[in-house]
Amino acid sequence: MRSATRTVCVLILLFIILAPLTTGPWHNVEAQSESPPLPDIQRYRIETANNVTTQQLTTDIAVTIDHIGPDYIDILAASSERDALLAQGFDIQLSPRPLIFSQVDQTYQTYDEMVANIQQVAQTYPAIVQLSSIGTSYEGRPLWMAKISDNVTTDEAEPEALFIGQYHAREILTVEMMLYLLDMFTREYDPTTPDNEITQLVNTREIYLLFSVNPDGGVHDIASGIYQYWRKNRQPNEGFGCIGTDPNRNHSYRWGGTGASVSPCDNTYRGTGPASTPEITAVQNFVNSRMVSGRQQIEVAISFHTYGELILWPYGYQSGTACGTPITDMPADDLAVLQTMGEAMAATNGYTPQQSCKLYTTSGDFVDWAYGAHRIFAYTFEMHPCFTTGCPGYGFYPPGSVIATETARNRKAILYLLQQADCPYATIDKPDRCNASSADDEWQLWLPIIQKA
Ligand code: 3K0
Ligand code: CA
Ligand code: CA
Ligand code: ZN
């Protein structure tokens, strides 16, 4: 979602998405009792030659703008919304891009395929991969995590890093990103060439890959064979017909602030309380467990999302003109580190670097909690595609043909962040801050662990 308007629009679409289709081309899809109802939602294209503006499209009828092309606007609309637009005289075509998982994107791995894949890799590389589950989703799926390091079964004094995929169900490219990393660290690891960068990083870091925070949402999104544009988890909301909490609004740091919805039917619903979802409880318990002898071991983290080609850093909770101004819960040095590393990473992948609140205000997201509660230098990567004029129009569902390039595109940024993990303050020429041993101010309590090699 790229704007407040779109967020609001999706609320309306969520109701509509639950309405079963009675006509249309989807009859061949076999209905299963546990499958979601087929969505009454399609992508439509409106030519902009006659000066149609997004404003016009979203003022009276809250359709979702999916993509703004050079001479068209693609919208997501239910049939009732399409009819309302037609009644207003808009010239509407069905967009050429279908929304059918089984026809378009079998190259994307399903949850079951992902699990089989990571279990296979763990079996093949037991010396450097340790597989575990950090908890279970609402529907009981394991939240799989791979630890990658030399001496992998030992907790060594090495900087730790956390990478997370699929907070949001429909952001399917992020699972592929995680699988790319698993493949890269294992296939390129070669203990006989310690100078090779991958080998060096695996030997000197402890890397955690949490493949999917939201497997229930991911399974739901494709269960019918037609993408559901599902974002949240699948936890029911008592007293409401609609399902799900936004995992990226459910973290405990300043939970309940602006930039998250109090309405269970909204796509950015914050949940009933901090970490009210089993998925976020599991993430937080895991990160909390990496607090050893009063020091958080995880130095750096990336939570992968789509889309927009952005690198975002905390805080998201600041709003309006306060965004980016000095704030008591982030020392200036830390903001400088976040910005320096964010910009350095962006220079390698062409994403746009900015503080999270510059995109829009959020509360309860992962990066705010990871930094706010643990002083982890944490980033949100919004992956491919970009979202401005001229960007490809496939939004959350890029064709499988982009997976290889769009995952490899982040390789350098990730290796850079891992390199900095032994002393992020060195990036702002303050390496001494990494060596402070006594807590002479409250912030030093939170200093990253020092690698005593
Ligand atoms: O850190 C952030 O600003 C999160 C941005 C994220 C979100 O949760 O709203 N954007 S997304 O939902 O379009 N992936
Ligand atoms: Ca190790
Ligand atoms: Ca360790
Ligand atoms: Zn997201």
Break the chain into its structural domains and give their ranges.
Answer: 4-97, 111-452
The mean predicted confidence, pLDDT, of the chain is 84
Q: Which two tokens stand for residue 327?
A: 């704030």
CATH topology of domain 111-452: Aminopeptidase (3.40.630)
Residue 29 reports pLDDT greater than 70? no
Model pLDDT, residue 38: 39
Model pLDDT, residue 12: 36
pLDDT band at 249 (very low <50, low <70, confident <90, very high): very high
Q: Which two tokens stand for residue 186?
A: 């294992």
Tens digits of per-residue pLDDT, 203-222?
999 999 999 999 999 999 98
Name residues whose C-beta falls within 8 Å of residue 259's C-beta, 6 or more positions apart in sequence.
249, 268, 316, 317, 319, 360, 361, 362, 363
Architecture of domain 4-97: 2-Layer Sandwich (3.30)
Active site residue 382: yes
Q: With pLDDT > 70 as the criterion, what percentage of the chain qualifies?
A: 81
Cβ of 365 closer than 6 Å to ligand 1, yes or no, is: yes
Same fold yes or no, 4-97 and 111-452: no
Ligand nearest to the Cα of 151, by number: 2
**CA 217 to centroid of ligand 4, rounded, Å:** 12
Cβ of 356 closer than 6 Å to ligand 1, yes or no, is: yes
Closest Cα to atom 8 of ligand 1: 248
Q: Give the ligand 1 atom nearest the CA of 248.
A: 8
Residue 5 reports pLDDT greater than 60? no
Residue 55 reports pLDDT greater than 90? no
Lowest-confidence pick of 27-31, 251-255, 264-268, 441-445: 27-31
Ligand nearest to the Cα of 296, by number: 3
CB 189 within 8 A of CB 125: yes
Model pLDDT, residue 9: 38
pLDDT band at 229 (very low <50, low <70, confident <90, very high): confident
φ and ψ at residue 9, rounded to 5 degrees:
-60, -40
- Please state the rounded mean pLDDT for residues 153-160: 97
Model pLDDT, residue 228: 83
**CA 214 to centroid of ligand 3, rounded, Å:** 26
Model pLDDT, residue 81: 83
**CA 205 to centroid of ligand 2, rounded, Å:** 6
Ligand nearest to the Cα of 214, by number: 4
Model pLDDT, residue 67: 67
Closest Cα to atom 11 of ligand 1: 1
- Please state the rounded mean pLDDT for residues 181-199: 97
Nearest one of 94, 98, 123, 120 to 109, comparing CA atoms = 120
pLDDT band at 451 (very low <50, low <70, confident <90, very high): very low
Model pLDDT, residue 227: 82
DSSP 249: G
DSSP-derived secondary structure for 146-203: EEE-TTTTS--SS-EEEEE--SSTT-THHHHHHHHHHHHHHHT--TT-TTSHHHHHHH
Tens digits of per-residue pLDDT, 298-312?
999 999 999 999 999
Model pLDDT, residue 219: 96
Residue 321 reports pLDDT greater than 90? yes
Cβ of 368 closer than 6 Å to ligand 1, yes or no, is: no
Tens digits of per-residue pLDDT, 370-405?
999 999 999 999 999 998 877 887 888 888 889 999
Model pLDDT, residue 25: 22
- Please state the rounded mean pLDDT for residues 234-262: 96
**CA 389 to centroid of ligand 1, rounded, Å:** 20
Q: Between these two residues, 179 and 295, which has the higher pLDDT value?
A: 179
- Please state the rounded mean pLDDT for residues 253-282: 96
pLDDT band at 438 (very low <50, low <70, confident <90, very high): very low
CB 389 within 8 A of CB 69: yes
Model pLDDT, residue 225: 77
Model pLDDT, residue 41: 67
Cβ of 316 closer than 6 Å to ligand 1, yes or no, is: yes
Lowest-confidence pick of 5-9, 229-233, 276-280: 5-9
Cβ of 367 closer than 6 Å to ligand 1, yes or no, is: yes
Model pLDDT, residue 64: 73
Model pLDDT, residue 87: 87
Q: With pLDDT > 90 as the criterion, what percentage of the chain qualifies?
A: 64
**CA 165 to centroid of ligand 4, rounded, Å:** 9
pLDDT band at 50 (very low <50, low <70, confident <90, very high): low
Model pLDDT, residue 4: 47
Residue 236 reports pLDDT greater than 60? yes
- Please state the rounded mean pLDDT for residues 327-336: 93
What is the best residue among 64, 177, 359 to mutate for testing ligand 1's pocket, by most ligand atoms within 8 Å of CB? 359
Model pLDDT, residue 32: 29
The alpha carbon of 207 is separated from its chain's Cα centroid by a whole number of angstroms, namely: 18
| Catalytic one of 81, 158, 382, 406 | 382
The alpha carbon of 172 is separated from its chain's Cα centroid by a whole number of angstroms, namely: 9
Q: Give the ligand 1 atom nearest the CA of 316.
A: 3
Model pLDDT, residue 445: 45
Model pLDDT, residue 248: 98
Nearest one of 313, 314, 316, 318 to 352, comparing CA atoms = 313
